[in-house]
Amino acid sequence: MYWAASSNRKLGTMVSLFVDIASLCKSMGKNEEARAHLVLCRYVREENNWSLPGFILNDINELNEIIGNNKEPTSLKEALSFCRDYWRSLLGKKSDLSGKIEDKRQIRNGLSGRLSFGKLDHNFCFIITKDNESFFCFKKALPSGIKNGDEVKFDAIPSFDKKKNKKSWKATNIQ
């Protein structure tokens, strides 16, 4: 969860992740961290003019009674900074988490596989190698005139699959 939170810049897509992290922190007795994630969730929801579920306010109030109101983050920026410091400490990263965490996997060159378009209304597809390894790619990155099932050559760069919350590969230089 911390990897996913630190690798995504779009806070609006992560409000439920912040709630999950808060729940985990609360169960481990890390009350300040739990409150900071709930407060971050509250600020993001307020910034986007989204409704705020009552349980979030209840949990914040409960944690404020335990910790004391005086240390609650007073802005989105402060809450985000506190949470990022927490993620950084758990991930053991000294780099700035406002961007992507460095991925030490090397680019893979000269791969080949067959295109699998999947649903036609999606703007992405996959390339499947003979070893049944799957590589994500955007349809707009494909050469013109290419069809579903065509054999292609490509390179692969490290990527992160947010939906599956794991490291993955993205096809590039597709020919």
Alpha helices in the chain (DSSP H): 2-7, 15-27, 31-47, 54-67, 76-91
Q: Give ranges for CATH 2.40.50.140 in the chain.
A: 108-172
- As given in the structure block, the two tokens for residue 91 are 């991930």
Nearest to 113 by CA among 99, 132, 97: 132
The arrangement of secondary structure in 108-172, i.e. its CATH architecture, is Beta Barrel (2.40)
Give the per-residue pLDDT at 164. 76
pTM (two decimals): 0.53
User: Cβ distance 25 to 37 under 8 Å?
Assistant: yes
Give, for all 175 residues of the chain, the pLDDT tens digit.
Answer: 777 777 777 888 889 899 999 999 999 999 999 999 999 999 999 999 999 999 999 999 999 888 876 678 889 999 998 998 888 888 775 444 444 445 677 888 999 999 999 888 888 999 999 999 999 998 888 988 899 999 999 999 888 877 777 888 999 999 9
